[in-house]
Structure 1
């Protein structure tokens, strides 16, 4: 599976290594090209997953604010609902699409 914007791959991992939560694919931290992501100050708190860290993705000089996110320290009880620890896994949306 790949996450990409305009043909630039942002993350790539086997489907078996990804976690699907609420329709979003979460990539393991080691599969993400972190040099393309910058932490965003945008705050969000999910009542069952915890505090979100958003990222701005920059590809070919264009910035895509808040198009990626992760949960650095999820609420421990959420691991039961998800089925495994997804700490720091990264999901993408809008211009950042995921495909096989």
Structure 2
């Protein structure tokens, strides 16, 4: 289910989808370019881990924050120029949508 969508600079689109499964909810965040080509994405969730997407806020240019897991605020940062990282560092229960060894990443995620 599409829960939220954002138009980001420069000509990028960020989409938030959930599976609508109350006891094992999964959030997928997808970044598309202006031609609707998948650029990057992450999944948040885990087995028997409930989550509810709420309180999405723009925290400045190319940065959003939201709540998904109880008591945890998550910051999503868009890097339009992309970055390369040998080992992509993501918080617990967050994994990449696609594994790209030495590929460019455009989204970073951290918990507060």
TM range, smaller chain: 0.3 to 0.5
Instruction: Specify which structure has the higher proportion of helix.
Output: 1
What's the TM-score, normalizing by structure 1?
0.34
What's the TM-score, normalizing by structure 2?
0.32
